[in-house]
Every structure is written in C-alpha cells, then in structure tokens.
Amino acid sequence: MRAALLRMRRATGLDVAFGGLLHDGRRLRIAELNGALTPALRGLAISAGSGLGGKCLALSRPCVVVDYPSARHITHEYDAPVSAEGLRSVIAVPVVVRRKVRGVLYGALREALPLGERVFDAAVAAARDVEQALAVRDEVREQVRQAHGELRELVPRIADPELRARLLEVCGRLETASSAGRADKPGVALTPRELDVLAAVASGATNAAVADRLGLRPETVKGYLRSTMRKLGAHTRLEAVVAARRAGVLP
C-alpha cells in the first residue's frame, strides 16, 4: 500500500495520499500516509457508511467530494482530523479482492478543486496494485495453511522422536511466520494434540475425518475441540479456527 500511494501521488500531483485495510471485515484503519503534514489521520478508524471512506466501503465504488467540509452527500464524523490536515477535495477508492472490499485508498488536495479523470484513473490503478498484492498474499497464506495442516497430521505417525521434534519445529516456524503482526490474543496455550485436531478442522475436515486422519475416536476429537473452544472463547468450530489464527497459534 505504501508503494501504491507513493505512485499515485507522483502520477497525479495530489497533496496527500493515504489508506488502510479492514480489520475483522468491519472497520477500516488508516495506517499509511504520504504527504501528510500532521498525524491527525493516522490510526483513524472508519466505519462503513461514515464519511467519504465509509461511503466508499458501503457502496464498494469510488466516491469523490470537491469540498469535504461542505459536502452534503456524506456524513461528517471525521471533519476534525480532515480539517486538521487541511483537506478539501478528496477521492476514495475501494480495494476489492474476490468481490470483497478489503481496504480503501484516498487521494486529496488542500484546495477545493475538481479531481479530473487523470486523478481518478491513477487512484483506481493504485487500488488494483494493492488488490493484486493482497490476492497473492492470500494465496501464499492458504498454501502455508495447507502445508501446516498436512505436517501436523504427519507428526503423530512419526516414531522417531528426533524427526517428530523437527517436524514440530517446522510447524512452529510456519505458525510464527504466517501470524506475524496479527496476534490479538497472545498467551493462548493449546496442547500439541489440540493443535493437531484444530489444524485438521481448519482444512474443512469433519470430526469423523479428523478422527480417521489422526487415529483417534470421534468422541476424543470432540473432547479436544471442546477444550480448544473453551481456551479460545469460541462457541463453534469456525470461531475456534478464526480465534486461533488471530492468536497466532494457527497460520
């Protein structure tokens, strides 16, 4: 995103470019700024439907205002930080990956001037650059998750303790690399068997399939899942997988 914002400013002469990605699929947080004179926008949380970016999120299409403070077709929850940065003309473009909005890029002038076609095209191109990067990252992450799940299934079948320990070390590195910067619940401790079961569940396997893969009884699998969900504060298998990924114990 940082590189896309820089290219957008260079191609258009915009005073400021900024943007961020959605967290938990609900709120956007402004994380990257280029050309800003104040920290007023950094870390700002944008809700769908609120302000120009929120309107862009809700409609999943580019939105523009020529004079932000007096614009009638947006809400004005964020007037204070926008005013602190001195922004007037603003464009917001969604970052859409597989029909799902994942973020928003903004470009702005400190004068109330129309933003022409060149600015619009450059903003859309920058958003597409971010879209492609996110799509590649998603694909790599999914491959890491699949590899992690397959390794965890192999671990219980390995009789050699040294080889088993090395496989567990590789699993740990995959978990750490995939979840870097994403752990929301540090300190969650799952047993190796709970991780084996949850990794298999994360691949889409049923309890019966998990039991067959790991050489366990279905009732035993249910017991591991119950203890895992209790530790993670989850009520369903899917919630447990999501919570484990946020906590950094699954890729």
- What pLDDT sits at residue 180? 55
Same domain, 116 and 174: no
Which of residues 14 and 23 earns the better pLDDT score? 14
What's the mean per-residue pLDDT of the chain? 89
pLDDT interval class at 18 (50, 70, 90)? very high
Same domain, 134 and 194: no
Report how far residue 68's alpha carbon sits from residue 109's, in angstroms, rounded to the nearest whole number. Answer: 10
pLDDT interval class at 10 (50, 70, 90)? very high
Report how far residue 224's alpha carbon sits from residue 190's, in angstroms, rounded to the nearest whole number. Answer: 10
Q: What one-character DSSP code corresponds to residue 93?
A: E
Looking at the domain assignment, is residue 193 inside a domain?
A: yes
Q: What is the pLDDT of residues 186-242, one digit of tens each?
A: 567 888 889 889 988 888 889 999 898 888 899 999 999 999 999 999 888 888 888
* CATH number for 191: 1.10.10.10
Task: Give the residue among 44, 56, 47, 122 at the shortest CA–CA distance from 83.
Answer: 44
Same domain, 16 and 121: yes
Same domain, 177 and 84: no
Looking at the domain assignment, is residue 108 inside a domain?
A: yes
| Mean local confidence (pLDDT), 14-26 | 88
pLDDT interval class at 108 (50, 70, 90)? very high
Range of the domain at 229: 158-247
- What pLDDT sits at residue 27? 85
Same domain, 194 and 243: yes
Last residue in a domain, options 138, 173, 196: 138
| Mean local confidence (pLDDT), 48-71 | 96
Same domain, 121 and 21: yes
Looking at the domain assignment, is residue 153 inside a domain?
A: no
Residue 61 pLDDT more than 90? yes
Contacts of residue 158, defined as CB under 8 A and 6 or more positions apart, other chains included, come to 164, 167
Looking at the domain assignment, is residue 95 inside a domain?
A: yes
Looking at the domain assignment, is residue 174 inside a domain?
A: yes
- What pLDDT sits at residue 183? 47
Looking at the domain assignment, is residue 152 inside a domain?
A: no
Same domain, 133 and 187: no
Which of residues 178 and 202 earns the better pLDDT score? 202
Q: How many domains does the chain have?
A: 2
Residue 182 pLDDT more than 60? no
Looking at the domain assignment, is residue 35 inside a domain?
A: yes
Last residue in a domain, options 108, 138, 168: 138
- What pLDDT sits at residue 112? 96
Same domain, 26 and 73: yes
Same domain, 96 and 185: no
Region of poorest pLDDT, from 70-79, 118-127, 232-241 = 232-241
Same domain, 92 and 183: no
Same domain, 28 and 124: yes
DSSP H helical ranges for the chain:
2-12, 51-59, 79-85, 117-154, 161-179, 192-202, 207-214, 218-232, 237-247
Report how far residue 214's alpha carbon sits from residue 228's, in angstroms, rounded to the nearest whole number. Answer: 16
Last residue in a domain, options 138, 169, 189: 138
* CATH number for 69: 3.30.450.40
Same domain, 21 and 126: yes
Kindly list the distances between the CA atom of residue 241 and the CA atoms of 36, 199, 204, 209, in Å, as whole numbers in the listed order.
Answer: 39, 8, 10, 17
Q: What is the pLDDT of residues 129-170, one digit of tens each?
A: 999 999 988 887 888 888 888 888 888 888 898 998 888 888
Rounded to two decimals, the pTM is 0.69
